[in-house]
Amino acid sequence: MSVQEAKSANELAAERTDLALKRNLMAADRTLMAWIRTALSMISFGFTIYKLLEGFQKGGADLHGVNTPRNLGLFLTGLGTASMVMGTIEYWESLKELHTLQKFRLWRPSLVIALIMSLTGLFMFFSIITKLL
């Protein structure tokens, strides 16, 4: 590298700051994706358990109460939905904090997926309550 190609200290600092911001954004995205995976597992497992136990109950199995499938399904889908909402809020706060340091697009794909998952979880939760599905 010749003397003319050498970067100034300010240019190097700006480049490193940009890279640090990108690493922080990617870390926040990975964290939100972990929340999404966890919430998806709980919501789908809760709904599956609900439908499975409901089928057993209709087949004549004694499940220690009439509302056992409903209660277990509500607990797991509610827990998954709550974790998705909390993860989305945490992610949004991280994005706002990073946005004060440097401007970037706030609506990221992982945020859109998290919002869709939150709405899906709410739909599943209320469909168990109302026996819609």
- Condensed to tens digits (0 to 9), the pLDDT of residues 62-88 reads 777 778 788 888 999 999 999 999 999
Name the residue ranges covered by the structural domains of the chain: 9-130
Three-state SS for 29?
A: helix
Residue 99 burial (CB < 10 Å; 0-12/13-18/19+)?
middle
Cα distances (Å, whole numbers) of residue 117 to 44, 66, 114:
11, 29, 5
pTM for this prediction: 0.77
Contact 35, 118 (CB under 8 A): no
- The closest of 52, 39, 126, 47 to 87, measured between CA atoms, is 39
User: What are phi and psi for residue 54, nearest 5 degrees?
Assistant: -65, -40
109/49 Cα distance (integer angstroms): 30
- Condensed to tens digits (0 to 9), the pLDDT of residues 33-61 reads 999 999 999 999 998 998 898 888 888 87
